[in-house]
Structure 1
Amino acid sequence: MKKIVIIDYGLGNLRSVRKGLEHAGADVIISSDPEEIKNADGVILPGVGAFRDAMKNVEVLRSTIDEYVESGKPMLGICLGQQMMLSTSEEGGVTEGLDLVKGQVLRFPHSELKVPHMGWNSIKITQEHPIFDGIPEGSYVYFVHSYYVDTSDRNTLISCEYGTEFAAAIVNDAGNVIGTQFHPEKSGDTGLKILENFVAMC
């Protein structure tokens, strides 16, 4: 059974993520212990709330996360967890992220569309990756966010349209660090399939 660690840094919807991973057949541990993280088969970086607060809380684990990523094992960031993987965010003033994927986090432009972007939206698959095996083009997934990820085409796995086109899922150059702006654990059968694919990668 694959051992998956959900990083507990004080901000995250841990229970529903845990449930989704257990449904996918994983042995799930919620922990902030560096040794647990480094020895995991897969790691989840969850997150809800403000970017600056999240980065302040996760700073103590930054070297542990870097070491884990360098090992080549898979890591999945969800919602704010994806945003934290980027170089910087403009939320609450420019704040440095984990810089695992080059790019920035920007606020949705003022428009006739409501912010936050909340609810179901369809996705466009821009490149293949094992985490999206079996996910059809145009599938609907669940979003809740006021800021979006702006990164290169090569680091974008899935795009979505909400007033502007944004990266709904990202990947690092090595292919082992993946982020989703949407919540797989709240995205029905599509989301469960994504979590199953992640567990299979580990």
Structure 2
Amino acid sequence: MKKEISPMKKLPLLCWLFGINFFISAFTFGGGYVVIPMIRKYFVQNKNLLCESELLDMAAIAQSSPGAIAVNLSVLAGYKTAGLKGAIISGLASVLPALLILSVISAGYQAFRDNTVVSAVLKGMEAGVAALIVDLVYDMCRNIFKEGRLFFSILIPLAFIASFFLQINAALIIAASALLCLLECFIRRNEVTV
């Protein structure tokens, strides 16, 4: 449960939000899914500003919203912890490192394009990114299975089969999963009222 933050503590929180989102964006390679474990570490585990279920909900919203998952998740986490100012500061902090890095790279594109050291470093980082994504998927599935709801325990492998084996577009899988969950919610609500 989120605590109310006094105005005196807002400024340090806003500064922390800027710093942590800048740090996460600057040192996280591999896309939005890699940001989720970092947000978990700093917002859930270290600062206790969010709970695990809030993070999972925000990750689902960030993934299904237009734009970069990392930026969407940073904005949502900032909003949840410090309101509109937190969302704006988190959004700026999450796009600033990429803007600065791409500006430097584009200025020296010819030097980076054929550099074998840069290519080797980027290839090596792929293994780390893959490990972080596997860890994230494991944690998310474990938390969903802990709830003990049969519907979700069946939906996860079905979504995996649809993606991995049937090569169905991820957007369609997300939309179908959302619709199925909505339908399941209405069915459960009707069972309770009957």
The answer to whether the superposition gives a TM-score over 0.5 is: no
**More helix per residue:** 2
Structure index of larger Rg: 2
**More strand per residue:** 1
TM-score, length basis structure 1:
0.23
TM-score, length basis structure 2:
0.23
